[in-house]
Structure 1
Amino acid sequence: MKIEVKNLSKKYKDKMALNDVSFTLDEPKIYGLLGRNGAGKTTFMNILSGQILATSGEIRIDGENPFDNQKLTESICLIKEGNNFKKDLKVKNVLKIYSYFYPSWDQELADSLMKEYNLDLNARVKTLSKGMESALGIIVGLASKAPITVFDEPYIGLDAPSRKKFYEILLEEYQMEKRTIIFSTHLIDEVSLLFEEVLILSEGSLVMKEEADILRKSTCAVSGTIDDVERFIKGKEVIEKKQLAGMMTAYVYGDVEEAKSSGLQVEGIPIQELMIHLTERKKGA
């Protein structure tokens, strides 16, 4: 499903949560939606899923507005970091309700994930730990098989092995059946290898939209003596420089192959470091 975001803005009283954001997601991919707290990520996801209206601009999904549009909302599943389900419902009722709502629901996958996360079908949502409630959200998001599946910090309370299992299952399901997956997280280093494209928001504005492979090829960390590194980075855009005992490491935008041929030590830059840099400087790329 094609997602077109056109001059999208959302204002809450005196605060602009989103400010004239435009971009297009043309094809099923795993997208990383990144940014600091308050960048506008959750507001964007709420508008995309048809839960709130924009102040101005619009989102079109295959040419249609998702707000109050049941045909579209059946194709979009948003799992937030908490409060996804009514607290008095039993787990089995949650799964039953969502199985009715999503035409593409995969009950076999839901059953398998219930066993994986050891959830009790008869437990009420209000009795679940934070981790178990997150696991229920993950189960619903994956089993919905919604053409647009959005995860907003979906694993609060899950331990590292449980998070890793989620990433593995998500990737397996995506490879078997492509869909648009939008993943918002602060644990960027854990999941960045999943991303096929990265979008970074800062203070309501889009500061980067780029394919992850291109980012990895066009940014690098070079290390060597201060003189050698300074010589290499002259005229290049430098993200950050660090010095210690006559040695320097610089994060730069530039050709990785050129850096390797310079005789310097070359490594890739984690996407998390790029996000921090871009949101500090509020500079587009």
Structure 2
Amino acid sequence: MSIEIRELTVRYGGTVAVDGVDLDLAGGKIYGLLGRNGSGKTSLLSAIASYRKPSSGIVRIDGEEAFENPRVARRTCFIRDTLDLSDSDRLRTALDLAARLRPTWDGSYAAHLIEVFGLNPRKRVSSLSRGQRSAFGVVLGLAARTPLTILDESYLGMDAVARTLFYRELLDDYLRHPRTIILSTHLIEEVADLFERVIIMDRGRVIVHDETDALRGRGVTVTGPAEAVTSFVAGHAVLGEQSLGGVRAVTLDGHFTAGDIERGEAAGLSFGPIGIQDLFVHLTSQPLEASR
């Protein structure tokens, strides 16, 4: 399912959570949505999933307006970290309800995931640990196999082993059953290899939307004698810098040719790549206009 967002704004009283966002997401990809706390990620996802009516603007899913559209709702699954279930519900009751509501539901796969994560379907939601709640949210999200699946920090309660199992299951099932998946996360380096495209939000706006591989090749850290570094970085967008004695290290945003690197190395400089997490930290630490 493709997503088209135009001039989307979400307000809570006087607070603007999403500020005039335009975004086009092609179907059949895994997207990573990154942003600091309060950046507007959950508000954006809530509008995409029709959990919240936009204050202004529009969200279209496969060309149809999403809000209060039952055809779109049946094909969309939105799993939040709060796990939208009653504490008195047993897990098997929630699984039965999901099977009735989701035409794409795969009960056999749900049973497989229940076993993978060591969950007891006879238990009530109230008896689950935080990690078990997260795991059950993942079960509901993956087994639904909806054309649009949104996971909003839904797996952060898991320990490292459970998260690794989740990443493996998500990728394996996505390859067997392609669909549009959006993952919102703070665990950037841990999960970045899953993303085909990355969206970065900051203060209600989208400041980056690009292929993951392109972001990995974006920017360098230049280290060397202060004078040579200063000469090399002139005219480039500086994301951050450190100095120690006569040595200076500067992180630059942008793409550099092999010729650029060769000239820098001839001047005694060394170059290192910026990981997606480092790029995210640098971009979201800047004044908003500087990061766009």
CA-based RMSD: 1.6
Checking the alignment, whether the CA contact within 8 Å between 1:241 and 1:250 is kept in structure 2 is yes
Unmatched 5+ stretches in structure 2: none
Q: Does 1:273 align with 2:278?
A: yes
Deviation at 1:231, TM superposition (A): 2.8
Distance (whole Å) between structure 1 residues aligned to residue 255 and residue 71 of structure 2 = 45
Question: Where do residues 1-285 of structure 1 align in structure 2 (5 Å cutoff)?
Answer: 1-252=1-252, 253-255=254-256, 257-258=258-259, 260-261=261-262, 262-263=264-265, 264-280=269-285, 281-283=287-289, 284-285=291-292
Distance (whole Å) between structure 2 residues aligned to residue 136 and residue 221 of structure 1 = 41
1:226-283 deviations in whole A, cap 9, x for unaligned? 2333232222111111223433322212316345423243332122222222223213
Checking the alignment, whether the CA contact within 8 Å between 1:236 and 1:254 is kept in structure 2 is no
Unmatched 5+ stretches in structure 1: none
The count of aligned residue pairs is 285
Structure 2 vs 1, CA of residues 246 and 59 (structure 1 numbering), >3 Å: closer, same or farther? same
Distance (whole Å) between structure 2 residues aligned to residue 112 and residue 197 of structure 1 = 29
Distance (whole Å) between structure 2 residues aligned to residue 180 and residue 265 of structure 1 = 40
Code of the residue aligned with 2:176 in structure 1: it is: M
SS at match of 1:143: helix
1:7-65 deviations in whole A, cap 9, x for unaligned? 00111111111111111112321111111111111111111111110111010011212
SS at match of 1:218: coil
Deviation at 1:154, TM superposition (A): 1.1
- Alignment TM-score, normalising by the size of structure 2: 0.92
Structure 2 vs 1, CA of residues 259 and 75 (structure 1 numbering), >3 Å: closer, same or farther? farther
- Alignment TM-score, normalising by the size of structure 1: 0.94
Distance (whole Å) between structure 1 residues aligned to residue 170 and residue 225 of structure 2 = 43
Checking the alignment, whether the CA contact within 8 Å between 1:76 and 1:147 is kept in structure 2 is yes
Deviation at 1:222, TM superposition (A): 2.6
Distance (whole Å) between structure 2 residues aligned to residue 112 and residue 39 of structure 1 = 35
Deviation at 1:94, TM superposition (A): 0.9
1:81-131 deviations in whole A, cap 9, x for unaligned? 113222111111111111121111122221111111110010000110111
